[in-house]
Structures are given as structure tokens and as C-alpha cells.
Amino acid sequence: MTGTIGRVVIAGGSGAVGSAFAEHLSESGNDVVIVDHAVPRPTHQVTRFVRGDISDPGAEVADVVRSAEAVLLCVPEPAALVAIGRLVGTVRPDALIVDTSSVKSTVVRALQEVTMISGEVEALSLNPMFAPALGFAGHPVASVVVRDGKRGRALLNLIEEWGARVENVTADQHDRLSAATQALTHAAVIAFGAALAELNVDIADLDRIAPPPHAALLSLLARITSGAPEVYWDVQAANPYAPAARRALSRGVSQLADVVDSDDPAAFGDLLDRLSGVLGPLRGAYRERSAKALRAMTTNVQKETFT
């Protein structure tokens, strides 16, 4: 074990992201206190639960914040921005403040202001680039280091011990990349679902004959539509680069339609060749990854059918 941080207050610790951090930080030997309106699951070995709002802290919330080595803000961005401003003068001078917002430009500016006011406060802006239910192991966590320090480094080391990959980026890099990896991806899946709804094809019929790629898209649609809408709304509405991603998606569909409507197979082949270049030297690795994933999906479906 690399080491522990000490007392960690997790605002929003009863939610999906907060729960994941609470569980792992507790198992790593930290003294975890959850601040939330909702009671955490009893499986969490937290030291204390305080019912309250980190963005409008009462006396009890303020007391636990003062005693904390680190405060994690696993709350929606508007609440995080208010909380960051109110933490000044409440957190200990050398505490670590962390947010887990899906968009970084605004929240990182707020954290930078705090570090200028409070000379020793450390600050990190993290974004687990995966659904919390999947666990940290094998998945990337984007990290914007606002102010470096021993507690921030300890947290990043723990995240890597949990099996995740910490990927350091700037706030602008994060938002540009997440517009492509999250906003564009979610928009494509949601648009796929909207197109299916317009085609009005019975899902039972689709399920009977769906080839693996279509089944994979249906699975992604089920995942997104079963999730919390506010999570996907934040990705689309808050990221300043998301509108450009959606417009690019719309133009991509138009390019395909134009090529097919012009009855030009050669142009269609040229389009696919050009798009293969997007993958660069990783094309082969992604092709193999796709084959493995689709084979695994087919195998799992067959097992479910015969059990």
C-alpha cells in the first residue's frame, strides 16, 4: 500500500461516483465521512455519515470539513462550484480539494482561485472515464492537477493501486477529448435509438436477427437509457466542445447519405479508406478488440439462451 490520506470527506458519497470512491478509500485504510442528503448503502465501512449539503453547510458539515485532510466533491457541477467557494476558510490550510465533474473548464478555474487565496491548499480535478459500476480496474481516470502536493499524489497513487490508469491532462484537453469520447459517443447512440423509434421496428424481431454490431448498439442504448439522465445531460449541455461534436456527427451522416444517394461505390470505398486513417497505427488493435468483444457478446447470449 502506497499510504493513506487520512480523513476524507466525500460530498455526494451516496451517489454512484461517490460510492465508488468511498468503498475504495475505506478499504485502503482511510477515515471516510460521507456528506449527503441520502443515506449511504450499509455495505460502506464509513466512519460517519452526516446528512447535509456541502454547498450550504450547516455546523455539523462544517465541523467534519475542518477535520478533513481531503474533501471530494462527487456532486453535480453547479453544487461543486458553490461548494468550492464556500470551502475557503473552512478547510484546513493544507487540505486537498477534489472534484469529479464531467466538464473541467469552469470548475478548474474555480479551484485555481481557491489555491490563489489559500496558499497551501492542494487541488485535483478528476473524471473517472467509465460507469462507476464497472470498477476502477482497467479503466482510465482523467486528472487535472491544479495544485500538486503530497495528498493529491497519495490519492492518485491509490487510484492506480485500485487498477485504474491515471491520465494527466489540462482542463482544455480534458474537455476537447471528452467531447469526442463521451459527448460524441453518447450522441451517436441516442441518435441511433431515435432512428430506431422512427423506423418503428419491433424489438423482438430485431433481437431475433440482430448481428453482433447491432446487438452491441442496442446494449449501449439500454445502458444509456437506464442511467441517470442528469449525467448524460451534463456531458451534452455543459461541455463547451459538445455542440461541435454533435454538428460533426450530423455532417458525418450527411456525408454517408450523399455518397450513397449519388450511387458512387468508388466514393463509398474512398470514404471508408479515409476513415480508417483516423485510427492510425491502432487500427489493427481496435479491429481485434472489436472481434473479441463481439465474440464474447455472442457467447454470452448463447449461454443465456440455453440456461
Transcribe 206-249 into DSSP letters: HHHH--HHHHHHHHHHHHHHHS-HHHHHHHHHT-TTHHHHHHHH
> Other CB atoms closer than 10 Å to residue 100's CB: what's the count?
26
Give me the pLDDT at residue 273, please. 96
Looking at the predicted structure, is the pLDDT value of residue 306 above 50? no
pLDDT of residue 280: 95
- The grid coordinates of residue 148 equal 500538486
pLDDT digits (tens, 9 = 90+) for 188-225: 999 999 999 999 999 999 999 999 999 999 999 999 99
Cβ(120)–Cβ(94) under 8 Å?
Answer: yes
| Type and span of the H or E element at 48 | strand 48-51
CA 5 to chain CA mean position, Å: 23
Given pLDDT bands bounded at 50, 70 and 90, which one contains residue 183? very high
Whether pLDDT at 239 is above 60: yes
Question: What is the pLDDT, as a whole number, of residue 119?
Answer: 77
Summarised one tens digit per residue, pLDDT across range 150-176 is: 999 999 999 999 999 999 999 999 999
Regarding beta strands 140-147 and 122-128, do their DSSP bridges make them parallel or antiparallel, or are they unpaired?
A: antiparallel
Quote the pTM value: 0.88
> 53: which 3 cell numbers?
449539503
The answer to whether residue 236 scores a pLDDT higher than 50 is yes
Over pLDDT 90: what percentage of the chain? Answer: 83
Residues 104-118: pLDDT tens digits? 999 999 999 999 988
Q: Percentage helix, strand, coil, to 5, in the chain?
A: 60, 15, 25
pLDDT, position 31? 94
The three-state secondary structure class of 60 is: helix
**Mean pLDDT for all residues in the chain:** 92
Closest by CA to 129, choosing from 177, 70, 81, 74, is 177
Over the stretch 68-77, which tens digit does the pLDDT of each residue have?
999 999 999 9
Q: Quick: pLDDT tens for 246-268.
A: 999 999 999 999 999 999 999 99
- Which is higher by pLDDT, 249 or 300? 249
Confidence category of residue 2, pLDDT binned at 50, 70, 90: low
Smallest CA-to-CA distance from 35 within 19, 22, 49 is with 49
The mean pLDDT of 20-40, rounded to a whole number, is: 92
CA separation for the pair 283, 285 (Å, rounded): 6
Which of the pair, 276 or 306, is modelled with greater confidence? Answer: 276
* Mean pLDDT for the stretch of residues 13-33: 93
Alpha carbon distance, N-terminus to C-terminus of the chain? 42
CA 143 to chain centre: 11
For residue 89, pLDDT over 90 is answered with: no
pLDDT at 296 (0 to 100): 85
Question: Among 290, 133, 143, 277, which residue's Cα sits nearest to residue 211?
Answer: 290
3-state secondary structure of 301: helix
- Answer whether residue 1 shows pLDDT above 60: no
Tell me if 49 sits within 8 A of 33, measured CB to CB: yes
Give the whole-angstrom CA distance, residue 37 versus residue 84. Answer: 18
Q: How confident is the model at residue 44 (pLDDT cuts 50, 70, 90)?
A: low
Paired strand residues for 97 = 71, 123
Backbone CA torsion sign across 261, 264, 266, 270: negative
